[in-house]
Amino acid sequence: MAHAEHLAQDATRRTVNSFYQAIEHRDMNALRDVVTNDWQYIASATMPSTGVDQMAAVFESMQRALPDMEIHVLDVLVNDRMVGVRAQVEGTQHGEHMGIKPASKPIVFAVHSFHQIRDGLIEKTWHLEDWMDCFRQIGSLPPGIQK
Per DSSP, the residues of 63-101 read: HHH-TT-EEEEEEEEEETTEEEEEEEEEEE--S-BTTBP
pLDDT (tens digit, 9 = 90+) per residue, 120-140?
A: 999 999 999 898 898 899 988
pLDDT (tens digit, 9 = 90+) per residue, 2-61?
A: 766 666 778 889 999 999 999 999 999 999 999 999 998 888 766 667 778 877 887 888
Sorted by where each starts, the structural domains of the chain and their CATH numbers stand as 3-138 (3.10.450.50)
Q: What is the pTM of this model?
A: 0.87
